[in-house]
């Protein structure tokens, strides 16, 4: 006789099998996930470490933004709270929206970090990773305590996949500590004449008292791009670093690099406090610009706004040879006026003039303002001897419409001595018949 108490109903057997299958499925999924994490951290591209993992279709954004640029007249309409276009030749702002406002800047901080490292470290040095660096969160190169890597490769990890762990290790290696390195960053900012920037960290994670402006961020990028190694790093799409003798390929987080004509850097950024940030260097023809977009709500917006700024600049501005214009106007003026200048009591009555050197020989000018460039020259016409070499006797103003964009001193080339008694006597004798 069967003991029905020990018989499990078919329904319960089925449920039991389903439960086991479900558990097995979960275990398999976890195993696959762990494998993927390990694989990404040790081998391929830094996708798992991106500072902003919002997925965008860059080609679609390019297409949409280009269409808007074609039909839009006037200044670009940005969705980001801060935007700026900086002309590298003249060091001037072509466009700005809140460009002087102090704000957090996330990982665009690493532009200054790289400057300090490149100016103070030997790139061939091999570094042993500190526990503090290995434990740094956010976007990472994937460094572990006691890993060995060169300063050179740490810089690539810093600027390409925005490794916060690389930033801290570089700070410790160069400054001895994060705090000392921040002091070096602030000292460098002062040397560059930046008065609205202050650094607390080498990576840009949100910290009180860590800020800059779009304008000063552009100035930092402009300075950094003059360092050949910096320019080489930020213009690199992907790179293979070596950690503990093993290779790891990383890719640049800059979504415009390789996708928009002329773009050759510079740095992305994202924190909750700073929102999405992007500093971009772009050159087409002679016009070389840096655009800055800060405080964008989404990655798509920072990309769109960066493209808007770039296309606006190339649609509306062109490079002008200011030196040629100035020299032509000054020569014309000299031919008419140089002989009119009287030197009282001078051994010679002939003066030779020169202009102070023009710093910005070429500048970006709005296409509609090219015919509005003018040169205004003012000079003394009576001088008392002696007249010293390089004595200023006037100035030349360069104006676009009613705005003065440059002032150059007009200087005396040669020393003109004052006549003495002997000179007057000789002069008197020459007058005799």
For residue 219, CA distances in Å to 202, 287, 291, 370 come to 18, 16, 11, 26
Q: What are phi and psi of 292, to 5 degrees?
A: -130, 125
Q: Do 293 and 83 contact (CB within 8 A), yes or no?
A: yes
Active-site residue (options: 62, 90, 139, 162): 162
325 C-beta neighbours (distance < 10 Å), count: 15
Contacts of 416 (CB under 8 A, 6+ apart): 343, 346, 347, 348, 351, 383, 385, 386, 387
334 part of the active site: no
Active-site residue (options: 62, 90, 107, 197): 107
In DSSP notation, 62-125 reads HHHHHHHHHH--SS---SSSEEEEEETTTTEEEEEESTT--B--GGGGHHHHHHHHHHH--TT-
367 part of the active site: no
107 part of the active site: yes
Active-site residue (options: 62, 90, 97, 110): 110
Q: What are phi and psi of 59, to 5 degrees?
A: -65, -40
- If residue 332 lies in a helix (H) or strand (E), which one and from where to where? helix 322-337
Q: Do 151 and 142 contact (CB within 8 A), yes or no?
A: no
Distance of CA 188 to the CA centre of its chain: 15
Q: Please identify every residue annotated as catalytic.
A: 107, 110, 162
């Amino acid at each position: 006789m069967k003991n029905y108490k020990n018989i499990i109903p078919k329904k319960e057997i089925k449920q039991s099998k389903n439960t086991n299958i479900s558990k097995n499925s979960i275990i398999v999924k976890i195993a696959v996930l762990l494998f993927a994490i390990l694989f990404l951290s040790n081998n391929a591209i830094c996708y798992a470490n991106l500072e902003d993992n919002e997925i965008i279709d860059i080609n679609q954004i390019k297409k949409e933004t280009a269409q808007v640029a074609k039909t839009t007249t006037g200044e670009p309409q940005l969705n980001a709270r801060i935007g700026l276009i900086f002309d590298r030749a003249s060091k001037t702002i072509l466009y700005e929206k809140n460009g002087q406002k102090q704000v957090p800047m996330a990982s665009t901080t690493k532009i200054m970090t790289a400057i300090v490292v490149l100016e103070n470290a030997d790139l061939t040095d091999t570094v042993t990773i500190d526990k503090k660096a290995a434990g740094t969160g956010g976007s990472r190169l994937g460094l572990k305590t006691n890993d060995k890597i060169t300063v050179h490769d740490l810089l690539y990890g810093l600027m390409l996949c925005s490794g916060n762990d690389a930033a801290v290790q570089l700070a410790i290696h160069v400054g001895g500590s994060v705090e000392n390195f921040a002091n070096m960053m602030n000292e460098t900012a002062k040397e560059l004449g930046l008065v609205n920037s202050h650094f607390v960290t080498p990576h840009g994670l949100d910290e009180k008292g860590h800020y800059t402006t779009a304008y000063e961020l552009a100035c930092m990028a402009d300075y950094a791009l003059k360092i050949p190694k910096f320019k080489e790093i930020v213009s690199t799409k992907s790179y293979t670093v070596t950690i503990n003798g093993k290779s790891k390929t990383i890719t640049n987080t800059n979504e415009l690099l390789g996708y928009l004509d002329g773009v050759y850097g510079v740095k992305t950024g994202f924190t909750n406090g700073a929102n999405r940030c992007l500093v971009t260097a772009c050159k087409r023809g002679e016009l070389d610009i840096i655009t800055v977009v800060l405080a964008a709500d989404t990655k798509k917006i920072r990309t769109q706004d960066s493209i808007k700024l770039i296309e606006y600049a190339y649609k509306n501005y062109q490079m002008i040879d200011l030196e040629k214009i100035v020299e032509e106007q000054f020569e014309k003026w000299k031919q008419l006026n140089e002989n009119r200048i009287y030197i009282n009591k001078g051994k010679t009555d002939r003066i030779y003039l020169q202009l102070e050197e023009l710093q910005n020989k070429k500048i970006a000018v709005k296409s509609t303002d090219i015919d509005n460039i003018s040169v205004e020259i003012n000079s003394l016409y009576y001088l008392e001897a002696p007249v010293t070499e390089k004595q200023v006797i006037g100035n030349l103003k360069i104006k676009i419409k009613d705005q003065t964009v440059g002032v150059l001193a007009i200087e005396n080339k040669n020393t003109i001595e004052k006549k003495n008694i002997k000179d007057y006597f000789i002069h008197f004798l020459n007058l005799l018949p």
